Chain A
Amino acid sequence: METKYISQSGIEQWFNAIITSGKRVYAPVNSRGQIDFKLVKNLNEVSSEYIQTTQSIKASVYPKAEVLFSYEKVNGKVNLTDFDPESVPETVMWKVHPCDAAGFKPLSAIFNWDGADKLHNAHLAKTSLVSFSCASADESCFCTSVNGSPGNTAGSDIQLTMLPDGGAIAEILTSRGGELAALLPSVFEADKGVKKEKYLVDLPARFSLEEVNTKLSKAFNSTVWKEQSERCIGCGACAFVCPTCACFDIQEDVHGSKGRRIRCWDACGFAMFTLHTSGHNPREHQSQRWRQRILHKFSYMPERLGVVGCTGCGRCSRACPVDMNILEHITSIAQQ
């Protein structure tokens, strides 16, 4: 845990040192009009003009589709090949927002709440987060309402707070962050004593989590779910851009006698998600599915896992084709 100063050129040198070390570096890149994390080799590929990437960094520790294990049928027998944690390459997620980094906690809570998830943990072990605190926000951002802040360091290994001179305050937060800094220690200069708060965007809280929690505990039968969800078209955009949504499906990829069991993203908003083979569907209507999404994040997760399932990144509101604005909806529940 130490705070350092890194100059503009220092940042670039350090970045290059990370690349040279052979680690894969993902950073926000502007391509096809979208800002998203992509594999980068050069600092100048990294985009600066944006509020939020379309997708979260969830995929780095919870890939969209991954092989749980593979198998081969030989003469009536089955040979299994386990997932190999060593196959996961060392990865650095560069220029992560605090709300993204904060997402790893709830994500891991789900994957490890009772029985460790080997795959997720293998990815976690190989992934380092270099977060950048936020100097700007938009109307969809609400991290401050969900225990976060523009300078929240939770989940980050190193956090940079950009300064007007192009340099940054570098908070080395974890030992993994230390290792990362150690790739080029010379650029990490002594802390200049600047307070990072001055360079953070001011984002007042919009609701109180406790209040929301209290309201939600009594809201299961409320009409609010139906009212809010009427326009929801039941796609999975919100879940897939969310840094904490972890619902998944297990599927089979078969090629003759060889096959793989695959885990892939799923969403509680899909109509078929809970459908029984018998045809019975416990969450038959979209309103029930919307309720599940909200209650799971803001009520069930805090109660069962001790962590709120939302980091206030606002991606779901931005991605929603029909403007299901989570901030608006949560605020209105809080005010009921």
Chain B
Amino acid sequence: MEKIRERAATLLAEGVVTLVLGYEEGTKRPRPLFCRNSESARKLIFDSRCIHNLAVYLTKKELVGKDRFAVIAPIATLRSIMQLYVENQLSEDKLLVLTVDPSGELRELVTFEDIAGYVEQFELKRGEREQEILSKIDEMSREERWKFWMEEMSHCFKCYACRSACPLCYCSKCVVEVNRPQWINPWPAPLANMEWHINRAMHMVGRCTACGACGDACPVGIPIDLITRKMMEDMAPEFGYIPGQPAKKGNALSTWKLDDREQFIR
């Protein structure tokens, strides 16, 4: 922790970066902190409770500005950053990535290759919560799955916290705001909610890195992160990807293979 504070303070003091995105102690749990001077770097903390995916801020130009900035990125954030690189949303010369490896060492990752190399060492695993709910869903019949999700969807009031928290939802005008035609009705109702979440899952195929930010953000506790996570887990082997490791070019739905297998097209 001290190392991070020191390093952030130095980076800011020396003018290497104008902003360090990190975490501070919040009212209940750590929260994002925008450090713009070495003094506020003293507020920085970093531990296992720091789970916000700060990559969500990296595409907001009015926040990160035009100069080089640094971000403190646990592994989940790193995966998002990689995907953002692939999608042309970040440039290497503007971003400095700080992370703490399992041995507690502070690491600085500069290039996309650095990050990719580092991320490769980490396998993406289900946590206890994911395992529990997904295995419950696995055992359900189709009708039960439908009931389960309809019950969940009935709670959604379309605050779009899932969208806002997702680092990969950086569209300047989301499809739900497109009204010619109005693809998805903007009001909260089970169908419109369902359509929104199916749509979100489709947009995340081959992109979602299972950081879980959407699920964490949902104020009404819908396990929406599991939809995209399950898709990632199921589709990665289908299309020859490793879960949690973004493709270097394109994504699962923008590319194809001659021998993609399916059994349902007749």
Contact = CB atoms under 8 A, between A and B. Distances in A.
B220 A270 contact: no
Contact of B165 (A265, A321, A325): A321
A314 to B, nearest CB: 10
Contact of A235 (B57, B159, B187): B159
A286 B57 CA distance: 12
Interface in B112-166: 151-152, 155, 157-161, 163-165
B158 A54 contact: no
Nearest to B19: A230
Interface of B: 26-29, 31-34, 52, 56-57, 62-63, 151-152, 155, 157-161, 163-165, 173, 177, 182, 185-189, 213, 216-217, 219-221
Interface of A: 32-34, 36, 54-55, 64-65, 139-140, 230-231, 233-237, 239-241, 249, 251-253, 262, 264-265, 267, 270, 272, 285-286, 317, 319-323, 325, 328
A325 B26 CA distance: 9
Contacts of A139: 27-28
A233 B159 CA distance: 11
B52 A240 contact: no
A321 B100 CA distance: 24
Nearest to A263: B187
B27 A325 contact: yes
Given A33-B221, A251-B187, A264-B187, A235 B216 contact: no
The DSSP consensus for interface residues of chain A is: loop
A289 B113 CA distance: 38
A321 B219 contact: yes
A55 B157 contact: yes
Nearest to B219: A319
A322 B159 contact: no
A277 B186 CA distance: 18
A236 to B, nearest CB: 4
B157 to A, nearest CB: 5
Contacts of B189: 64-65
A328 B24 CA distance: 14
A265 B158 CA distance: 9
Nearest to B31: A323
Contacts of A264: 186-188
A34 B213 CA distance: 19
